[in-house]
Amino acid sequence: MSTSEIKLPYGTITKKKLIMHFSAFDMDLPVIAAGIRERMDVLKELDVSFAGFGTEIPEKLTEQTPAVIKCFFEYVGKESDADMILKRVYHLIWSGMVQEFPDLVDWAAAKADLSNLTIAQADALRAQRGD
């Protein structure tokens, strides 16, 4: 296996690790988690361990700089071509996310509910501050 970094459209492979990254403007954690969960049995067969995911908040968060969601995977097998296996995992995760993505009606309803929750939380904070 090479020690160089492999760049993918939404991730990188370095040594035996794959880091996938998504814009929080485009993807939500539940959608990403559903896609990973959909493919967990295949990851196990490929000797790839899911090492977690989380949100990386930029120092200056603005409307133009969204948070980045990162997902971490590690090849724990013995084969020498970990790069090839991790590239396959990259594509498997994307296909799992597409398969698990809700239909547009459900997606729109969930976004509306989240928007209403955010407005209610903002109203509660303003009331607490006396604004």
Same domain, 65 and 117: no
Same domain, 96 and 109: no
pLDDT per 10-residue tile (average), the chain, 131 residues: 80 96 84 91 96 85 79 92 95 90 79 87 88 74
Q: Give pLDDT, residue 61.
A: 67
Q: Give pLDDT, residue 113.
A: 87
Domain of 44 in residue numbering reads as 6-100
Same domain, 18 and 49: yes
CATH number, domain containing residue 55: 3.30.70
DSSP secondary-structure letter at 56? E
Same domain, 94 and 108: no
> In this structure, is residue 1 part of a structural domain?
no
Total domains, the chain = 2
- The answer to whether residues 91 and 20 touch, using CB atoms and an 8 Å cutoff, is no
